[in-house]
Amino acid sequence: MNESVFRRPVRLTADRTIVRQLTLDDAEALVSIVRTEPEILPQTLQGVHDAEALAHWLTVSVPNGQRFGVSVHLAIADRETDTLVGFLGLFRVDATHDSCEVGYALRQGVRGRGHATEALLLGADWALNDCGLHRIELRTLTDNIASMRVAEKAGFRREGVQRGAGRRQDLVMFSRLATDVPADGPVRLVGIGVGPGDPELVTAKAVRLLQEADVVLVPVLALDEPGRAESVVREYTAKAERVVFALNDRGGVTEKRAAAWDAAAARVLDAFEQGARTVVFATIGDPNVYSTFTYLAQGVRAGRPDVVVETVPGITAMQDLAARSGTVLAEGTESVVLVPLTAGNGTFQDALQTGDTVVAYKFGSRASEVVDALKDAGRLDDAVYGARLGLPGEAVGPAAAIDGPVPYLSTLIVPGRRTSRGGKL
């Protein structure tokens, strides 16, 4: 830690925001905050009301904290007027480990204008780059979605939940390291598989990228309807942004489908134009198995050939159903045939005759036909199906028990015929 830099006067500027020293000129605004919004005051000022004590805090306590290298209390000011609109503090400074904690608060009337993100970026960059700190921690209540969004925009990564750490309330811990600052490089579009629906079935790599990405997009049927991928993503980040896909359109490349692909690609390209380096698209299952990500990536590449497209594999519905039902997908030399029932029942019937294990996706609209085909092939008894895996209302059971309609996204596994242990080796 460079204590000489830490103790110098601070004045940092961004497009709309200034982060600077607190002075006596801020006294009038400070008194107004004490009277109307005391909850946003720094903790060291809680309970202070008289003018003499406020002046002592401004002229003695704040400078001494910075002089002795234990804390920095700064003003967040509007750039146009230089008026005090909030506070940014670096505290719990540990010079031995080059770390500290950061906190901020804004007046109600100025929230939503970008001041919080700009102030946090300015303060964190200054502490890490100029003062030589290695780690900055930020804690927020688990239901404070806005604060979590600000932290992520400012480059902080979510580490986990600290139980009962905030006056007996759970807090989400974020941190940013000096080594986290991204280097310039190619822009990336990353398709991430988030599994069938259970938030626990997401890889560590997927979680890391969801939290590091500049923009996270999730497909939905309509902007006012949450999607399955979104419900998983929001367990790990607050920055999920909905993009509309014609997920229930049928009949090939319809006009509605093509328009949705183009609109989503345009949103990604716009994010890159606005400075994003990494855009993540989260999809249920795996991004390379019947995923909307394929069509999005093609549109983005057409508009920006230099984009690097990557994918992170996800647990598929057939793997999750196999685990939940205790079904072995394949043994020895057995084949696994994956068939989408959107193309009709003929391919499924052929697979039952020629394949070992047969998996059918999206068979809900043809459930009765599927059951009849299984009976005709003599393969109904061992078949299992699952719907809404890992979600409320989950259904897992024998295909023979299907009596009536099942959800469209249901999955079916027809295991290979096995007569003895190791018989397929």
pLDDT digits (tens, 9 = 90+) for 14-67: 989 999 999 999 999 998 998 899 888 888 887 777 888 888 899 999 999 999
122-131, 183-192, 358-367, 399-408: which has the minimum mean pLDDT? Answer: 183-192
For domain 3-180, give the fold.
Aminopeptidase (3.40.630)
In the chain, residues under CATH classification 3.40.1010.10 are 188-312
- Predicted local confidence at residue 184, as pLDDT: 55
Mean pLDDT of 343-371: 89
For the CA atoms of 216, 222, 223, 224, what is the dihedral angle to 10 degrees?
Answer: -130
pLDDT of 93 reads: 93
Domain with CATH 3.40.630.30 in the chain: 3-180
- What pLDDT sits at residue 124? 94
Of residues 332 and 419, which shows the higher confidence score?
332
What pLDDT score was predicted for residue 183? Answer: 47
CA distance 377 to 168: 60
| Per-residue three-class SS string for the chain | CCHHHHCCCCEEECCCEEEEECCHHHHHHHHHHHHHCHHHCCHHHCCCCCHHHHHHHHHHHHHHHHHCCCCEEEEEEECCCCCEEEEEEEEEEECCCCEEEEEEEECHHHCCCCHHHHHHHHHHHHHHHHCCCCEEEEEEECCCHHHHHHHHHCCCEEEEEEEEEECCEEEEEEEEEHHHCCCCCCCEEEEEECECCCCCCCCHHHHHHHHHCCEEEEEECCCCCCCHHHHHHCCCCCCEEEEECCCCCCCCCCHHHHHHHHHHHHHHHHHHHCCCCEEEEEECECCCCCCCHHHHHHHHHHHCCCCEEEEECCCCHHHHHHHHHCCCCCCCCCCEEEEEHHHCCHHHHHHHHHCCEEEEECCHHHHHHHHHHHHHHCCCCCCEEEECCCCCCCEEEEHHHCCCCCCCCCEEEECCCCCCCCCCC
pLDDT of amino acid 205 = 92
Q: Which of 157, 100, 162 is nearest to 126 (CA)?
A: 100
Please give the Cα distance from 117 to 127 (Å, whole number). Answer: 15
CATH 3.40.1010.10 fits 188-312, yes or no: yes
Q: Is the model's pLDDT at 180 over the cut of 80?
A: no
Spatial strand order of the sheet with 357-361 comes to 336-340, 357-361, 411-414, 384-387, 395-398
Mean pLDDT of the chain: 89
Q: Residue for token digits 């500290």?
A: 100
Whole-model pTM: value is 0.60
Q: What is the pLDDT of residues 221-279, one digit of tens each?
A: 888 888 889 999 999 998 899 998 865 556 667 788 888 889 999 999 998 888 788 99
The rounded Cα 206 to chain-centroid distance in angstroms is 9
* Residue 390 pLDDT grade (very low, low, confident, very high; cuts 50, 70, 90): confident
| pLDDT higher than threshold 80 for residue 308 | yes
- Alpha-carbon distance of 237 to 106, in angstroms, equals 22
Please tell me the predicted confidence (pLDDT) of residue 97: 93
Taking CA 249 as the corner, what is the angle to CA 244 and CA 253, rounded to the nearest 5 degrees?
95
Answer whether 243's CB lies under 8 Å from 217's CB: yes
Residue ranges, comma separated, of all CATH 3.30.950.10 domains in the chain are 317-414
Rg (CA), the chain: 28
* pLDDT for 132 beyond 50: yes
Domain 317-414 sits in CATH at 3.30.950.10
Instruction: State the pLDDT at residue 224.
Output: 82
Residues 102-127, mean pLDDT to the nearest whole number: 93
